[in-house]
Amino acid sequence: KTRASHHCRQCGRCIQGFDHHCPFVAGCIGDRNRHFFLWFLALSSAGCMYATFMSGHAFWECVGFPVARLNLGWPETRPRPDAACRVVKEL
């Protein structure tokens, strides 16, 4: 066991530069995989922001917010998702 390693209770292993045990990647975060974990966090955050934006755009279009002013490159006469709009309006 090196001086900078710590024992993980969940994995039962010694990890060099141990930071924490992450259940999302099913392993420990240490010196060897910290870089990949930070990329995982960044890409997960970017994916969540993208999904939120796309869902919010569809929601505001259903309730009548003038999203066409944003000019996102879509044609202004594209069909609206009627089934999703009915669900939003019933709430």
List residues with catalytic annotation: 22
- The CA–CA distances, whole Å, from 71 to 57, 66, 78, 84, 89 equal 12, 10, 13, 22, 24
Q: Which residues pair with 20 in a beta bridge?
A: 29
Q: What end-to-end distance do the CA atoms of the chain give, in Å?
A: 58
SS3 52: helix
